[in-house]
Structure 1
Amino acid sequence: MNYFSASVPPNEVERLEAVQFYVHLPLRHQIFQAVVGLTASVFRTPISIMSIVEDTQVQYPGSVGLPVPERMNRIDCICSAAIYTHDTTILRDLQQHPCPWVSPESQAQTSFEFYAGTPLLTEHDFAIGTLCVLDREDRLFPAADQELLRRLARLAMQLLELHRLRAEQPNAPMPEWLGIEALLTQAQQDLLHLAGAEQQPEREQLVQMLEQRIERIYDRARHYGW
């Protein structure tokens, strides 16, 4: 089986053109590390990863719970599977039912049982990467969790856009990265007190408020400059 071609979206040529706007950036940034830390806290998973899927390789702007190199071969990365659809990709019981789009050799070296990933979508609807959570135990991921992960992916994409806009305006004042990082860190701390299943509405509200604040910063930067 050709694992690489199996995970290639129908619009791969256009998608890769969109990816080129981001791959030249210094993607290892503390702001994306804060995003994956927040995501892991929202879902109480040990692992969260943000990825950018290139032609044959995958870059990782941020990860918690799992040390990953700066790049990996695409056929070895489960994150590459989630760009095939604009919906949330959920893979359960992975030890018994491995992902069909990832090389068996790579999966044999992991102990994951659960994966949920949502694509990072550009304004033109191209999936350039993913935001995902993983667990070594199988778990449910209901519709409310899927929507929450999509919100976090939109937030991550807006921060990636801010990063790109800053690189394209080298003479403009720096964005308030420390302020944004403080927002993400505070939200992660607040989630420590919202760990119960019955507190799902509070978690959703917290993420929604954070998403709105980041969106206002993004809109201001996009339309008026820093």
Structure 2
Amino acid sequence: MLGLSNILPLNESQRLQALRPYQLLNTMQDETFTELVRLAAKLFNVPIGIIAFVEEETVRFGLNYGLDPALDRVNRWETLCSVAMLEEGVSVYSDLHNRPCDLINPGLVRDMKLGFYAGTTLRTKDGFPLGVLCVIDYRARLFTPQEGDLLEQLGAVVMRLLDLRMHLLQQPTWNQQLWASVYERIESSVQRIETLAALASWEEQEHSEAADSYRESTRDEIARVIAVLMEQITLLTP
């Protein structure tokens, strides 16, 4: 029978202790994280992006783009995030319709008609996995090593922002303007990526020279935003 024993890390009690300070962030209405998961979804041209926190028996999807608001918490043994969290690097399930993951109860994946999943682990500085940044599609699709590298880099940005937000929550006063500048940078990149994706989709041939050029510009944009965000986070971090 499938259950939590299949997907528990060896240091589970320590991991849960490391997770506790971050759980508040999962319920906060913070536009910066909203735009960040939207950025991830738009970058990979998928309908769903999630920052998922893996709790003791459930997985929380409060920070997401593209999910039904009612689906903010699921059983831990029903979600691929529980499996992806255990991996180093990026976990990819490119065709869940024909090659499902046998470590979880398949009911949720089947009910949602999911075809693709890619997730990168979010780890604390001490190495404890808190959850994943993941992108999800209803259709099966390929995920290149280059895309995997970008998702992993974006996951590093997410973890740095989570740490920064945690620090700012503990301060009696903090610079809202500086935090807003992070949001504005992400928002402008989302808008640019949406424009590039729309231009690529208008091309009659999927791999025409122009369509490939738009996709290359999208990858360049995300590389730029990752570099800029890391620079801004460094400036904000005490």
Question: Do both proteins adopt the same fold according to a TM-score greater than 0.5, normalized to the shorter chain?
Answer: yes
- What SS does the corresponding residue of 2:100 show, helix, strand or coil? coil
Q: After the TM superposition, which of the residue ranges 137-146 and 95-104 deviates more from structure 2?
A: 95-104
Q: After the TM superposition, which of the residue ranges 110-119 and 74-83 deviates more from structure 2?
A: 74-83
| Structure 1 position 201, deviation (Å) | 4.2
Q: How does 1:54-133 map to 2 (within 5 A)?
A: 54-68=55-69, 69-133=71-135
Distance 1:193 1:173, change over 3 A: closer
| Mapped contact 1:120–1:127 kept (Cα < 8 A) | yes
- What SS does the corresponding residue of 1:55 show, helix, strand or coil? coil
| Mapped contact 2:2–2:77 kept (Cα < 8 A) | no
Counterpart Cα distance in 2 of 1:101 and 1:19 = 23
Q: Which amino acid aligns with 1:202?
A: S
- Confirm whether residue 37 of structure 1 aligns to residue 38 of structure 2: yes
Counterpart Cα distance in 2 of 1:138 and 1:113 = 4
Counterpart Cα distance in 2 of 1:193 and 1:41 = 10
Q: CA RMSD in A?
A: 2.0
Distance 1:140 1:7, change over 3 A: same
Unaligned runs of 5+ in 1: none
Q: Report which of the two structures shows the higher radius of gyration computed on alpha carbons.
A: 2
Q: How does 1:1-226 map to 2 (within 5 A)?
A: 1-25=1-25, 26-68=27-69, 69-174=71-176, 176-195=178-197, 196-223=211-238
Count of aligned positions: 223
- What SS does the corresponding residue of 1:118 show, helix, strand or coil? strand
Counterpart Cα distance in 2 of 1:183 and 1:61 = 22
- What SS does the corresponding residue of 2:149 show, helix, strand or coil? helix
| Mapped contact 2:178–2:236 kept (Cα < 8 A) | no
- What SS does the corresponding residue of 1:176 show, helix, strand or coil? helix
Unaligned runs of 5+ in 2: 198-210
| Structure 1 position 28, deviation (Å) | 4.1
Counterpart Cα distance in 2 of 1:199 and 1:79 = 31
Q: Which amino acid aligns with 1:43?
A: F
Q: Which amino acid aligns with 1:107?
A: V
Counterpart Cα distance in 2 of 1:177 and 1:133 = 25
| Structure 1 position 31, deviation (Å) | 1.5
What is the TM-score with the length of structure 1 in the denominator? 0.89
Q: Which amino acid aligns with 2:17?
A: E
| Structure 1 position 30, deviation (Å) | 1.8
What is the TM-score with the length of structure 2 in the denominator? 0.84
Distance 1:36 1:19, change over 3 A: same
Distance 1:70 1:87, change over 3 A: same
Counterpart Cα distance in 1 of 2:236 and 2:58 = 30
| Mapped contact 2:49–2:135 kept (Cα < 8 A) | yes
Counterpart Cα distance in 2 of 1:111 and 1:164 = 35
| Mapped contact 1:166–1:175 kept (Cα < 8 A) | no
Q: Which amino acid aligns with 2:54?
A: V
| Mapped contact 2:62–2:73 kept (Cα < 8 A) | no
**Superposed CA offset, 1:99-147 (max 9, x none):** 2232133233120111111111222222211111111111110100000
| Mapped contact 2:59–2:73 kept (Cα < 8 A) | yes
Q: Which amino acid aligns with 1:83?
A: M
| Structure 1 position 200, deviation (Å) | 4.5
- What SS does the corresponding residue of 2:140 show, helix, strand or coil? coil
